[in-house]
Structure 1
Amino acid sequence: MKKNYFKSKLFLKYIWSYLFILLIPLVLLTIFIYENAVSSLRSEIEQSRLNQLTQAMVIVDGRIKELNEIASRISYDTRLTPYRVHDPIYSGEAIQGLDQYKSTSSIIGELLLYFHKDEKIYSSKGLYDFDVFATSFSFESWPADKLYQDLNAVKYPTMRPADTVIKSSNIADSMLAYLIPITPNSPTPHGTVMYLIRESELTSLIDSILGNYQGLTYILDNEGHILVDNRQGEAMTSTAAKSLINLEPGIHEQTINGKAHSVVSVKSQKNGWTYVTAMPSAQFFSSVLHVRSFIILLFCIVVLVGAAIALVLARMQYQPISTLVEFAASKRKENRPRSDVADRGNELDRIRSALQEYSSRIDLQEPFARNHLLSMLLKYGNVHPELQQAFGLRFDRSNHFVAVIGSGDNGGSPTERQERVKMLNQIAFPELQAVGYGVELPQLDQLGIIFSFDLDGDEADVFNRVREIVEAMRSGLLAVTDDIPMIGVGTSYESPDQLNQSFIEACSAYELRSSAEPGAITYFEKLSDAPQHADWIPNNTLMKLAQSLKQGSYDVAVPIIGLAFQNLQTTQASALLTRCICFDLLNTMLKTASELGIHSVALDMAPAAIYGNSLDEIERTLLNLASRICNQVEQNNRKEEHSLMDRIAAYIDERYTDYSISLESVAFAFNVSPSHVSRSFKEKIGTNFIQYIWQKRLNVVIQQLKTTSDPLKDIILRVGYQDTPNFTRKFKKETGYTPGQYRKLFSENEQARRMSEFEDE
């Protein structure tokens, strides 16, 4: 029985658990002694170094910020426009201006201004032909043609690592080059400001803060290139230097040049640079080495005693637990034979894994199912009470409206979009008695928010309450992101079944807004609703009609057309004016159809609408035209959806071996929302996104198990799966065998088949 205990992984886990429980007070006591005897000095010095390095980072960041501000002022300085600097009369004034800007920062070795495709470059000392400048300032690792290319192509501020510069006087100096495109933040810069900074300016600044120490200091850019290399008493190989690139901010221990070092790293949040110092541990650790040896010996004794006690307690507790394990094994739903010893004694792990797997599937699919429900609500305006409760949605308040939010930057990165969606998933404003639910729209750069609120006062205050809710939402967004949102807001309705109307209005408001200056909020109610004549159809109604056709929402288009003709029948307008009003509706529909590329439908239906004899006949014709446009939009969307899913499937087929592939990354690559990809992929392919990738990887692993003798870990890594134990569990669940068993079984079957063929011959 004793032997069986140690074959059980569950029993071994209990030993470790009790060992951990018993060792907690002893380990804490050991750590306390160690910290007081050994680590206090180390911690104090390292923390001081961290604070000093942080201070150095802040000061360097401040200097770089000064350079950015100077470049910004240069870009708006009328003395330094291309016209002025090329004018012989004003060029002297421009050079004087550059000299003034140079004097404002102590770290600038030279300040140069270059306009794209120009053969000259301007400095604080005078005007250079570009060839003369390249000769006067010869960079060891930056040839003249590459320098010319970088000056013309740089799109964002770029700091080049320290490089040896040989000036015309044959004086060599180590300098950094900082390139800033002007005008800053413009997608189409017209020139570049280049600062030449002596490396010694930065190293002396850092040394003045860090004080006297033996070690190394590096400044690395966000791509891991060494910008500044400052050595105090020792050097480092290139391989050892590269090992510092990916360190997380904080304090680390690392072996460098065969010696233990204390490495302190901080990272700037402004420009992504990493500041690293590496000090030999012997500087502060040699005096307490004998204490550390005593602590290690004491700790080993404590572990041995604790292990003996844990073994006794684990044996006492394993017997009742083994009964539970046998019961769990008898209730397994898998009807596969247990072919390895590992299965015995690991049942609880597999039960827990199964529960976690199903729970993770539910957690993964729930957001997409919830988003699909809200998308259907925006499209059709139907509310399902049962599903509301399942997803925690409530639309039992008195008023409802929809807002469409655009990021203005194509959605940002997948991480930024995910954070924005998570923030707006469900928001509440108790002081306004309002709650909002976020909806991912198919467009990657747009999100919809469905708001539901109660109104205590007069119904005339509805718009004011809507405005307060939208302003509160916008303030929340601006508090957590630098992106200025573009917002279109639909009309508030009393019934949630009319949310599709509000969504169309919000889209109309957003579409009008998208061509104007970013940052403002556009309310559909505030769009021009005054026709040129009392009998004409309001402009916002025509915009809403056009947007409903673009969305393929026939249910929204029908009441708009019906209400227009109802008003025509009740007014006393002349026959000519009535016909013109009908033409206004027809023109709106034909223009929308043309924008959508639906020309044949418009050509077929337009004559009947133009030559109709009665209002009823014209109304039926326009309704028929709206129906055909909406149906064509739906067909086009389905075709485009099928084509998109085919392209996504092909994209996955090419990249499924990439371990970083995910729903978010694929959605970002095709400029659509993750929820839209998840829903449409399942509908088109017949399986969900994750299962599709898993099946592709599983098929390749099975094939390689049959045809190669490569180690399982290598095969799994080749197909993009990094967690070998998890893959093994999933493989067994799919096939009934572990990968090793499967390979062995296939090999035996193949040998038996060959033997049978040999006997037949």
Structure 2
Amino acid sequence: MKKNYFKSKLFLKYIWSYLFILLIPLILMTIFIYENAVTNLRSEIEHSRLDQLTQTKVIIDGRMKELSEIASRVSYDERLTKYRVHDPLTSGDAIQALDQYKATSSIIGEIFLYFHKDEKIYSSNGLYNLDVFAKKFSFQSWDKSRMFKDLNEGQYPEMRPADTVSNASGLKETMLAYLIPITPNSPTPHGTVMYLIRESELTSLIDSILGSYQGLTYILDNEGRILVDNRQGEALTGSEAKSLINLSPGIHERTINGKAHSIVSVKSDNNGWTYVTAMPSSQFFSSVLHVRSFIIMLFIIVVLVGAAIALLLARMQYQPISMLVEFASTNSPAKRPQSGKTPSGNELDRIRTALQEYSSRIDLQEPFARNHFLSMLLKYGSAQSLSPELREAFDLHFDRSRYFVMVIGSEPAEQEKSDRQDRTEMIRLLTQIEFPELAALGYGVELPQLDQLGLIICYDPEEGAEEFNRMHQIVEAVRGCLLESFDVFPMIGVGTSYPSPDQLNQSFIEACSAFELRATTGQGSVTYFEKLSYTPDHTAWVPNNTLMKLSQSLKQGSYDVAAQIISLSVQDLQATEVSAMLMRCVCFDLLNTILKTASELGIHSVLQDVPPGMVYSSSLEEVERGLLSLASRVCSQVERNNQKEEQSMIDRIVAYIDGHYTDHTLSLESVAFEFDISPSHVSRSFKEKMGLNFIQYVWQKRLEEVIHQLRTTSDPLKDIILRVGYQDTPNFTRKFKKETGYTPGQYRKLFSETGQPPASSDPDEE
């Protein structure tokens, strides 16, 4: 049946994620292109306006300079001296001269000549009495008295702002009055030349700046007064216009009338006038409408194509997640959805929950798995054959040049609770112990015997020094650490140092052999296997420590070590030139050691099954085969006995748990202490035999009892949970619901209503 991916919120989230991944860069790119187009166009227009405004300033400055030069010529023209303009015979020449000066500049609307304290004013059109002049040229903002005062008292050129001028016939015209004292630059001018300039003459010079754009252009004097304004679509208040004089020359951004404006300003060095244009920024966007249309079309096309790609990519990414969800649901009974119910959370949440559950189980089992790994290493060797990933997971590093094993323990005795705590702390201390000054690293191993611990030592020997001295320093460092931490002197058996971790099983057997001699050396002693007595006078005989090692390997069920000892002993015997009788006696040493060990282990069948040919044969090869066969039988029987003992032990442990699971103090450590074996050995053996780890089994027993009491009693839930040994009621309720799909209250209610357990409540069905 084909899956409907669109019902999955996670699948839809993936689609939206890919769309966002596509849209965000696309939107940013669109904004960048659009803003770049607007910015470039805007910058181009602004710089063009700046150039045009600068050109306009140069032209107007030139015209103002031209008017100053005309005024200077007027002041020195003999036809325009005071006595000649008053003389009726020569006044006509004065009027004609003024008309000539007027014609020299296109911006002059009218030119007037006035001598201080005079009652008349002269123009290109004739002679005017001041009263008549004031009536003919009536300024809206420049009254008669102010005008006469400026004409008589002005000492510097002054441009009056554009003003409305009314003539006698009522016609109005906007004009500027430009007053220049004569003689120019004289501290005591005797008259004034006044030009009337139509505002349109100046605005026509700056119309080309705005072009087709809406905006305004101002010319302001050095006092901030508006001399000329050219508006297209908007105007400024007096205060806003006056603030423009403070702008530095160049291009500026400013908000005017609540809108963003682009302002260009230039200033004249000749007269201090400021030329300003202001245009709304919104006008620039209208010039890029075709770019915006193209981008919108491109955006739509890319979104459609991107949506198809996003759908394809989302499906490709979701498919393996969907498979993981099915796998997690199949292998995690507690997470299987109940019939008719939609699982809570999306697929990743369910996978995360399953992984957390697996991770918590792994974290719980990791110390025991690590101990099991090290135990197998001590029994079989072959450290390098294990994958690097496994060694890395357990943080084990076999990268030194020498290796040996220590067995640490004490006299068997009744252990108090404090001793158990000390053992736990000792295990934690020796889990991984390092002595940098000795270039040594140790890994602790819990042995099945509760009173013994193993310690694998990896080290680098000191150059030029005897190897045994470094071993002795390491052993003493371990003893000192235990004395400092626990105030005890443990008994220690030390195996031989080997160059490869694959030979750690040899060193372990030797350490166990050395440890067995503790009774003869006393409390707190250290016994080194390689220091055990040899038989130097009779080199053909098998050394005592080798026979001891052979016996210990048989007791441990380590056939690999036993076979190696037998083969090496036979090879050494072949290399010596001894008589057949002595050779047979030496072989009897090996045989007696095997038979004695078998007898100590209670394997009496081996005594009756010794091949006669092996005893009377003169062939060392046949003797070796017979010894290996006996060693194999002993080790196999030891393994079977251990398995039987473990099975019997597990049966007793299960019976103990079944009788004490309601005790809240029940734990792996308490069970291990009860049966005098290590917690790691209990955990490993229990898992192998029962298929469940210790915690899962205890939880299952308690869950079954709670379900039974929910069905058969009406006791409060809290009392039931406490009775089965669980003290954390909320946590139990959460786990109960995860296991059955119902809270304990819901379970009891459904059972009381139907008389049958809910469909998902049976733990065996989960």
State the shift of 1:603 in Å. 1.7
State whether structure 2 residue 398 is matched by structure 1 residue 392: no
State whether structure 2 residue 644 is matched by structure 1 residue 639: yes
Match of 1:719 among 711, 721, 724: 724
Give 3-state SS (helix, strand or coil) of 2:488's partner.
coil
Contact 2:540 2:578 (8 Å CA) reproduced: yes
Of structures 1 and 2, the larger Rg is shown by: 2
Structure 1, unaligned runs of 5 or more:
1-330, 754-761
Give the corresponding residue for 1:362.
362
Alignment of 1:84-483 (within 5 A): 334-336=335-337, 358-383=358-383, 384=386, 385-408=388-411, 410=413, 413-458=419-464, 461-483=466-488
Give the corresponding residue for 2:253.
none
Cα distance per residue 1:295-319 (max 9 Å; x no partner): xxxxxxxxxxxxxxxxxxxxxxxxx
Q: Which amino acid aligns with 2:478?
A: M
Alignment of 1:26-45 (within 5 A): none
Give the corresponding residue for 1:208.
none
Give the corresponding residue for 2:496.
491
Q: Please give the alpha-carbon distance, in whole angstroms, between the structure 2 residues aligned to 1:472 and 1:580.
A: 43
Cα distance per residue 1:446-483 (max 9 Å; x no partner): 0000010112414x622111111111011000001133
Seen in structure 2, the aligned counterparts of structure 1 residues 609 and 531 have a Cα distance that, compared at 3 Å, is farther
State whether structure 2 residue 551 is matched by structure 1 residue 536: no
State the shift of 1:663 in Å. 0.1
Q: TM-score, normalised by structure 2?
A: 0.52
State the shift of 1:407 in Å. 3.0
Q: Please give the alpha-carbon distance, in whole angstroms, between the structure 2 residues aligned to 1:577 and 1:613.
A: 11
Match of 1:505 among 504, 510, 513: 510
Cα distance per residue 1:93-116 (max 9 Å; x no partner): xxxxxxxxxxxxxxxxxxxxxxxx
State whether structure 2 residue 639 is matched by structure 1 residue 620: no
Seen in structure 2, the aligned counterparts of structure 1 residues 375 and 689 have a Cα distance that, compared at 3 Å, is same
State the shift of 1:542 in Å. 0.7
Contact 1:407 1:483 (8 Å CA) reproduced: no
Alignment of 1:560-579 (within 5 A): 560-579=565-584
Give 3-state SS (helix, strand or coil) of 2:466's partner.
helix
Contact 1:701 1:719 (8 Å CA) reproduced: yes
Q: Please give the alpha-carbon distance, in whole angstroms, between the structure 1 residues aligned to 2:507 and 2:553.
A: 11
Query: Structure 1 residues 601-610 or 704-713, which shifts more?
Result: 601-610
State the shift of 1:559 in Å. 1.5
Contact 1:414 1:665 (8 Å CA) reproduced: no
Q: Please give the alpha-carbon distance, in whole angstroms, between the structure 2 residues aligned to 1:355 and 1:657.
A: 30
Q: Which amino acid aligns with 1:665?
A: S
Contact 2:750 2:757 (8 Å CA) reproduced: no
State the shift of 1:338 in Å. 11
State the shift of 1:514 in Å. 3.7
Q: Please give the alpha-carbon distance, in whole angstroms, between the structure 1 residues aligned to 2:537 and 2:376.
A: 36
Seen in structure 2, the aligned counterparts of structure 1 residues 414 and 355 have a Cα distance that, compared at 3 Å, is farther
Match of 1:707 among 706, 712, 721: 712
Query: Structure 1 residues 434-443 or 600-609, which shifts more?
Result: 600-609
Q: Which amino acid aligns with 1:627?
A: S
Q: Which amino acid aligns with 1:536?
A: W
Contact 2:534 2:543 (8 Å CA) reproduced: yes
Structure 2, unaligned runs of 5 or more:
1-324, 330-334, 759-766
State whether structure 2 residue 625 is matched by structure 1 residue 629: no
State the shift of 1:355 in Å. 7.3
Seen in structure 2, the aligned counterparts of structure 1 residues 664 and 353 have a Cα distance that, compared at 3 Å, is farther
Cα distance per residue 1:315-371 (max 9 Å; x no partner): xxxxxxxxxxxxxxxx9964546999xx999x9999998776554422211000000
Seen in structure 2, the aligned counterparts of structure 1 residues 602 and 745 have a Cα distance that, compared at 3 Å, is same
Q: Please give the alpha-carbon distance, in whole angstroms, between the structure 1 residues aligned to 2:743 and 2:340.
A: 9
Seen in structure 2, the aligned counterparts of structure 1 residues 752 and 479 have a Cα distance that, compared at 3 Å, is closer
Q: Please give the alpha-carbon distance, in whole angstroms, between the structure 1 residues aligned to 2:540 and 2:590.
A: 13
State whether structure 2 residue 655 is matched by structure 1 residue 654: no
State the shift of 1:751 in Å. 8.2
Match of 1:605 among 604, 610, 627: 610
Seen in structure 2, the aligned counterparts of structure 1 residues 353 and 664 have a Cα distance that, compared at 3 Å, is farther
Q: Please give the alpha-carbon distance, in whole angstroms, between the structure 2 residues aligned to 1:446 and 1:417.
A: 10
Give 3-state SS (helix, strand or coil) of 1:450's partner.
strand
Give 3-state SS (helix, strand or coil) of 1:605's partner.
coil
Seen in structure 2, the aligned counterparts of structure 1 residues 665 and 540 have a Cα distance that, compared at 3 Å, is same
Contact 1:537 1:564 (8 Å CA) reproduced: yes
Seen in structure 2, the aligned counterparts of structure 1 residues 498 and 335 have a Cα distance that, compared at 3 Å, is closer
Contact 2:406 2:454 (8 Å CA) reproduced: yes
Give the corresponding residue for 2:733.
728
Contact 1:376 1:382 (8 Å CA) reproduced: no
Contact 1:443 1:671 (8 Å CA) reproduced: yes
Contact 2:422 2:486 (8 Å CA) reproduced: no
State whether structure 2 residue 527 is matched by structure 1 residue 522: yes
What is the aligned residue count?
424
Cα distance per residue 1:715-745 (max 9 Å; x no partner): 1111111100010011111101110111111
Seen in structure 2, the aligned counterparts of structure 1 residues 464 and 751 have a Cα distance that, compared at 3 Å, is closer
State the shift of 1:398 in Å. 0.4
Give the corresponding residue for 1:593.
598
Match of 1:743 among 743, 748, 751: 748
Root-mean-square deviation (CA), in Å? 3.1
Q: Please give the alpha-carbon distance, in whole angstroms, between the structure 2 residues aligned to 1:751 and 1:689.
A: 30
Give 3-state SS (helix, strand or coil) of 1:562's partner.
helix
Q: Which amino acid aligns with 2:588?
A: F
Contact 2:462 2:470 (8 Å CA) reproduced: no
Q: Please give the alpha-carbon distance, in whole angstroms, between the structure 2 residues aligned to 1:525 and 1:362.
A: 40
Seen in structure 2, the aligned counterparts of structure 1 residues 584 and 335 have a Cα distance that, compared at 3 Å, is closer
Seen in structure 2, the aligned counterparts of structure 1 residues 563 and 337 have a Cα distance that, compared at 3 Å, is closer
Give 3-state SS (helix, strand or coil) of 1:439's partner.
strand
Q: Which amino acid aligns with 1:399?
A: R
Q: Which amino acid aligns with 2:448?
A: P
Q: Please give the alpha-carbon distance, in whole angstroms, between the structure 2 residues aligned to 1:577 and 1:531.
A: 16
Give the corresponding residue for 1:554.
559
Contact 1:486 1:514 (8 Å CA) reproduced: no
Give the corresponding residue for 1:131.
none
Q: Please give the alpha-carbon distance, in whole angstroms, between the structure 1 residues aligned to 2:730 and 2:520.
A: 53
Seen in structure 2, the aligned counterparts of structure 1 residues 597 and 713 have a Cα distance that, compared at 3 Å, is same
Query: Structure 1 residues 599-608 or 406-415, which shifts more?
Result: 406-415
Seen in structure 2, the aligned counterparts of structure 1 residues 702 and 752 have a Cα distance that, compared at 3 Å, is closer
Seen in structure 2, the aligned counterparts of structure 1 residues 717 and 353 have a Cα distance that, compared at 3 Å, is farther
